[in-house]
């Protein structure tokens, strides 16, 4: 009665996207948050770049989501 | 013709209740964490629902496919089923319970079909595999995904200052909530379009292979958007404040989990109710957050309502169909429609007793505890020694409360893992 295969796929894909994307976003936030060392707080260019990269992937995911909807994916 | 008009009007009314019942699925968390002002949130959601309704037009002229025998569906059955769905939507809204609009509609249809042709008209295996099991699976899946997401996010950001968290995560919340809103528009508005198209075909006003007339698209999209904009504040309050006290990180994790589970379930052909997924995600964000509390009592009430949805909406659908059949003809349908209006008014009047709106939607869930006041010292004062009305210096008059009792300890302000 239960389609275990479909269910398993939903769980795995749901975890990758549903938990992975928030994690990526959180990583981005962590990267652009100034770190304090020796009393000076700063963000290194590398961290800033990595942070923006994380956000870019998240935005891309949202855009892909809209494309998915527009193609009648959700019905 | 009268019947057809009534069915179309009732379908639009269902569309409206669907909109305002389901606003919370997308926007409750954003409202609770103040990522968006309440009015701004429902406006955004309404616009996205409207856009979503036009975005994808894969409308199928089927109702409760695989659950009731398609050959026994008449306009009377559709009307009774719709009324069953609307009444259940209104009642659950009155109690602030998020419950699936599509399950309510299916319930109403099943009830009407049972009275119409008996048990042979209902495909029971379909009821189990398409309604009962998904109602158990959807929240479970969503709880797992949201709990994992929340835990990872909390772990990664534990050293990030609270104000940075709020500033950034609120943006993320708006993005993920918008996706859920858009998905709702593409999916649920089309259900009503499908019902109206089916009614038009049955009433001979459209050919069997015709597409959806443009006025139907416009009407369905705008009724749903209007319902969304009115905002089911009672349901929003339960989802955003009642189940879990959420912060912006939990909000982002919950809404992304909702979007992911909804999208992936339709991608893999396993249709789940948006409401069940969204509620599960909010619960999961409480489970995954270290130190957060989940009000399982509220959740239990909701699960109960989900179990009751099918039989309850079914009972209303059955009564409506029976009434139509008993009075017979157009008069029967008019009576049922009049009863629907009467019920709606009754629910509305009741809702005014304890209104929930954009102003108080974010109020504390538990009424603030009344601080215990130590009874005023009763000393045996010889009658006549103190003039009546004078208060001895230094004593606190009964009823006044010392101020510190109202200020919560600082660690209660913000529990962040």
pLDDT, tens digit (0-9, with 9 covering 90-100), for B247-266: 999 999 999 999 999 888 88
- Phi and psi angles of residue B218, each rounded to the nearest 5 degrees, phi first: -60, -50
Tally the C-alpha atoms within 13 A of residue A56's C-alpha that lie toward its C-beta: 6
Per-residue confidence (pLDDT) for residue B39, from 0 to 100: 93
Contacts of A15 in chain B (CB under 8 A): 144-145, 148
Residues 214-233 (B) with a CB less than 8 A from some CB of A: none
- Alpha-carbon distance of B129 to B111, in angstroms, equals 18
Which of A23, A59, A68 is nearest residue B149 as measured by Cβ atoms?
A23
Tell me the pLDDT band of B58, cut-offs 50, 70 and 90.
low
Using an 8 Å Cβ cutoff, are B15 and B86 in contact?
Answer: no
- What pLDDT, on a 0 to 100 scale, did the predictor assign at position B16? 94
Q: Which two tokens stand for residue A2?
A: 């239960």
% pLDDT > 70, chain B: 86
* CB atoms closer than 10 angstroms to residue B3: 22
pLDDT of residue B191: 84
State the smallest CA–CA distance between residue A11 and chain B in angstroms.
Answer: 6
Report the candidate in B171, B191, B227 with the shortest Cα–Cα distance to residue B49.
B227
**pLDDT value at residue A73:** 56
Contact A33 B148 (CB under 8 A): no
State the average pLDDT over residues B117-123: 90
User: Which residues in chain B are contacts of A11 at CB distance < 8 A?
Assistant: 141, 144-145
Q: Does residue B368 register a pLDDT over 70?
A: no
Closest residue of B to A72, CA-based?
Answer: B56
Whether chain A has a CB inside 8 Å of the CB on B149: the answer is: yes
pLDDT of residue A72: 66
CA-nearest residue to A25 within chain B is B172
Contact B182, A66 (CB under 8 A): yes
Tokens of A23: 């994690």
Interface check A17 vs B, CB under 8 A: yes
Per-residue pLDDT of chain A (75 residues; tens, 9 = 90+): 667 888 888 899 999 999 999 999 999 999 998 887 777 778 888 999 999 999 999 999 999 988 888 876 554
Average pLDDT over residues B400-407: 38
B235 falls in which pLDDT band (50, 70, 90)? very high
Q: Provide mean pLDDT across the span B40-51.
A: 93
pLDDT in tens, B204-228: 888 877 788 889 999 999 999 999 9
Give yes or no for residue B22 having a pLDDT over 80.
yes
Q: How confident is the model at residue B291 (pLDDT cuts 50, 70, 90)?
A: confident
B179/A66 Cβ within 8 A: yes
pTM score, two decimals? 0.83
- Look up the ipTM and state it: 0.90
- Sign of the alpha-carbon dihedral angle for B182, B187, B193, B196: negative
- The reply to whether residue B270 touches residue A2, judged by beta carbons under 8 angstroms, is no
Cβ contact A62–B176 (<8 Å): yes
- Quick one: pLDDT band at residue B413, thresholds 50, 70, 90? very low
Work out the minimum CA distance from A44 to partner chain B, whole angstroms. 16
Mean per-residue pLDDT over chain B, rounded: 84
At residue B278, does pLDDT exceed 90? yes
- Whole-angstrom distance, CA of residue B75 vs CA of residue B172: 45
Residues in CB range of B375: below 8 A, 6 or more apart: B398
The pLDDT tens digits of the residues spanning B151-180 come to 999 999 988 888 888 889 999 999 999 999
CB within 8 Å of chain A, chain B residues 259-278: 259-270
Q: What's the rounded Cα separation, in Å, for the pair B257 and B25?
A: 12
pLDDT of A1: 61
Task: Kindly state the average pLDDT of the residues B70-94.
Answer: 91
């Amino acid at each position: 009665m239960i389609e275990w295969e479909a269910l398993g796929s939903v769980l795995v894909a749901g975890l990758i996207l549903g938990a992975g994307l928030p994690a990526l976003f959180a990583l981005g936030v962590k990267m652009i948050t100034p770190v304090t060392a020796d009393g000076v707080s700063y963000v290194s260019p590398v961290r800033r770049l990595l942070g923006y990269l994380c956000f870019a992937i998240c935005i891309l995911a949202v855009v892909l989501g809209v494309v998915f909807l527009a193609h009648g994916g959700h019905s | 013709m009268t019947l057809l008009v009534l069915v179309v009007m009732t379908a639009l009314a269902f569309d409206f209740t669907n909109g305002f019942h389901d606003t919370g699925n997308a926007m409750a968390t954003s409202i609770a964490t103040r990522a968006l002002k309440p009015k701004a949130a429902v406006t955004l959601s309404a616009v996205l629902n409207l856009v979503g309704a036009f975005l994808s037009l894969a409308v199928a002229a089927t109702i409760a496919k695989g659950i009731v025998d398609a050959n026994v569906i008449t306009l009377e059955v559709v009307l009774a089923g719709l009324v069953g769905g609307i009444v259940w939507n209104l009642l659950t809204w009155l109690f602030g319970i998020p419950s699936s609009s599509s399950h309510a509609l299916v319930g109403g249809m099943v009830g009407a079909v049972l009275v119409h042709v008996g048990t042979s008209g209902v495909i029971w295996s379909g009821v189990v595999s398409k309604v009962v099991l998904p109602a158990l699976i959807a929240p479970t899946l969503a709880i797992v995904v949201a709990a994992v997401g929340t835990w990872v996010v909390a772990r990664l950001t534990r050293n990030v200052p609270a104000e940075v968290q709020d500033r950034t995560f609120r943006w993320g919340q708006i993005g993920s909530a918008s996706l859920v809103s858009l998905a709702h528009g593409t999916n649920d508005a089309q259900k009503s379009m499908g019902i109206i198209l089916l009614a038009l075909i049955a009433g001979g006003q459209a050919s069997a292979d015709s597409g959806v007339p443009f006025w139907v698209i416009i009407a369905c999209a705008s009724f749903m958007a209007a319902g969304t904009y009115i905002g089911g504040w009672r349901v929003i309050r339960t989802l955003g404040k009642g189940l879990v006290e959420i912060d912006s990180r939990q909000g982002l994790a919950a809404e992304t989990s909702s979007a992911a589970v909804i999208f992936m379930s339709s991608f893999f052909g396993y249709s789940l109710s948006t409401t069940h997924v969204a509620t599960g995600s909010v619960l999961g964000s409480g489970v995954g957050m270290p130190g957060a509390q989940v009000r399982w009592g509220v959740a239990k009430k909701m699960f109960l309502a989900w179990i009751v949805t099918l039989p309850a909406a079914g009972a209303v659908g059955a009564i409506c169909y029976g009434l139509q059949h008993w009075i017979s003809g157009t008069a029967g349908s008019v009576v049922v429609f009049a009863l629907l209006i009467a019920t709606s008014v009754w629910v509305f009047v009741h809702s005014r007793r304890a209104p929930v709106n954009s102003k108080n939607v974010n109020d504390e869930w538990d009424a603030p505890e009344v601080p215990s006041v130590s009874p005023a010292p009763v000393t045996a004062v010889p009658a006549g020694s103190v003039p009546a009305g004078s208060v001895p210096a230094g004593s606190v008059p009964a009823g006044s409360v010392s101020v510190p009792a109202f200020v919560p300890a600082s660690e209660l302000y913000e529990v962040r893992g």
